Amino acid sequence: MEILIILVFLIILIAPSFLMMRKQKAHQRELKELQDSLRVGDRVVTAAGVHAVVVGLEGGQVALEVTPGVVTTWERIAIIKRVEEQHPENVAHPSAEPAAEPPAAGETAATLAEPAADDPAAATPGPDAAETAQAASERAEGTAPGTESADQPQRSEETGR
């Protein structure tokens, strides 16, 4: 009876390990086949996540063009996936809105953040706008309450010094 319990216990421990090893070996075999079947012009992804085009193969190394004119050399084992060509449904539709244009020369974040002239809510400042501007200038000058630094002497309200 004890031997039966030990055998069942061993099977419970060994069976999942055996199944995981088989799956891992199959995955390694697929990667090896992929790496051995690389050809110039293939779009690939490296283990680091770099997308590139194969431009040269030599032994265990692969020359990958990351962007036009930029070629890097990688070990063949770093290639983990071949990227198939994009399907038409994955490509942006020509009637899609174009991306926002970058700011023109001379435009700053302040000019880009100005409210639109036709927006009545943005055109009228709130009641605290003047107070906020005054507090900001006081903080910049160091005269706002609580902004004394260690090198500034503390003024006493009683003596005014």
Which band of pLDDT confidence, cut at 50, 70 and 90, is reported for residue 10? Answer: confident
Q: Among 60-74, 91-105, 140-154, which is the least confidently predicted range? A: 91-105
What gap in Å lies between CA 50 and CA 47, rounded to an integer?
7
Q: Between 114 and 22, where is the model more confident? A: 22
Order across the sheet with 43-46: list the strands.
Answer: 70-75, 61-67, 51-58, 43-46, 79-82
Q: What is the per-residue pLDDT for 138?
A: 65
Of 20-24, 67-71, 137-141, which gets the smallest average pLDDT? 137-141
pLDDT confidence of residue 34 = 92
Q: What is the pLDDT of residues 88-140, one digit of tens each?
A: 454 444 444 555 555 555 555 454 555 555 555 555 555 555 555 566 666 66
Confidence of residue 69 (pLDDT cuts 50, 70, 90): very high
